[in-house]
Each structure stands twice: as C-alpha cells, then as structure tokens.
Amino acid sequence: MSSHSAKLVFAGPVGAGKTTAIRTLSDSAPVSTEMPMSEGPMGDKTTTTVALDFSSVQLDDGTPLHLYGLPGQEHFSHMRPLVMEGAVGVLVILPGDSPRIAEECEHWVRSVREINADMGLVVGITRTDISPGFRMGEVRHAVRRSGQPIPIFTFDARSREQTSHLIRALLLSLV
Ligand SMILES: Nc1nc2c(ncn2[C@@H]2O[C@H](COP(=O)(O)OP(=O)(O)O)[C@@H](O)[C@H]2O)c(=O)[nH]1
Ligand SMILES: [Mg+2]
C-alpha cells in the first residue's frame, strides 16, 4: 500500500449496512446525508442515504483510507461512477435476509464492473444472524453468473472487528 491514501467504496441495496459499516469503522464522526425515507419506514429503518456517506480511517501503517458509501436507490445510480472515480476497490454489501439476495448480488456486481471492469471487488453479506433462510450457495451462483470469481464473506456491520477484517480482505485481494 502506498504511503499516500486509498479510497474504498461501499455499494449495495438500501438496508444492507453501508452506513452502519462506515460508522462502525470511523475514527472521526462520519459525514452522512441521511434523510427520512420518502416511502415511509422499512421495518425499523426510518432514514436512508440520499447522497453518500463519507469517512476517513487510518490503516495500521498510517495510510489514510477514505471510505465512501453509495446511495442504494436506483434513481441515484448516476452517482456511482462519480463516487467510484479513483477508488481502489468496492465492497458490495448485501442483506442476508433479503429474499432477492441473488438478484441483488448479480445486479450490484455487474453495475460495478460496468463502471470499472478491473475494480477490486469483495461481497460482504450482513444480517445472516436474523436470516434463517440464508443460503450462501445462492450468492455463489449469482457471483458466477456475473463473471470473474470474487471473495464472499458474511459479517456484522455493527462489529468493528468483523468489518475491519473484511476491509483487510479487500485490500489484500488488490495486491
Ligand atoms: N441483526 C443484524 N443487523 C445488522 C447487521 N449488519 C447491519 N445490521 C443492521 O442493519 C441495518 C442496516 O442499515 P443501514 O446501515 O442504514 O443500511 P444502508 O442503507 O446500506 O446504509 C442497521 O439497522 C444495522 O444495525 C447484522 O449482521 N445483523
Ligand atoms: Mg445508508
């Protein structure tokens, strides 16, 4: 890793855990643009990211790591190439309790690759503790359908240890 800085982007659908992961990792208070959900609350989730999340953390060697969370909604898809500009890798976060997880996986991995085919990519699946129906095999198949193989992990975005582990896996996949 260079001594300058690195940029990582967190992508994925609404409710996956992008904002939570960035908050969990943050050294300083993250900048966030949370607003009440226009369509009303989704379960216990009453706000959603309308523009983006941003935070900066330091790697062990002192390298600043800039973290950006993309808005999940499709009507903000025009922001993805802008936010991904200059990023070294993308973490696609998917909610394990989504009945559409395979479809969402294929969609997000393809969207990222359409913007940058060489982008480092890792899939992280949250909320598996509350998803009795979660099947890793479905996500593996979806990843295969969307092209090159990429690592898939489960993690809890509320856990700093688990989220840091995933970031390390993404950074290691780039070298
Ligand atoms: N039970 C459980 N909840 C989680 C886990 N990871 C994230 N969450 C919760 O899932 C929600 C994700 O919302 P948010 O971070 O706003 O999602 P975003 O739309 O992707 O930014 C939050 O309420 C988190 O606390 C997990 O592994 N298990
Ligand atoms: Mg968010």
Structure tokens at 31: 């900048």
User: What are 88-146's pLDDT values in tens digits?
Assistant: 999 999 999 999 999 999 999 999 999 999 999 999 999 999 999 999 999 999 999 99
130 lines ligand 1 (CB under 6 A): yes
End-to-end CA separation in angstroms for the chain: 8
As residues whose CB is below 5 A from the ion ligand 2, the structure lists 18-19, 49
**Residues 26, 35: Cα–Cα separation, whole Å:** 20
140 lines ligand 1 (CB under 6 A): no
**Residues 1, 94: Cα–Cα separation, whole Å:** 27
How many angstroms does the Cα of residue 54 sit away from the middle of ligand 2? 11
User: What are 45-78's pLDDT values in tens digits?
Assistant: 766 666 678 999 988 888 899 999 998 888 889 9
- Environment class of 76 (CB within 10 Å of its CB; exposed 0-12, middle 13-18, buried 19+): middle
Please give the domain boundaries of the chain with CATH numbers for all domains. Answer: 6-173 (3.40.50.300)
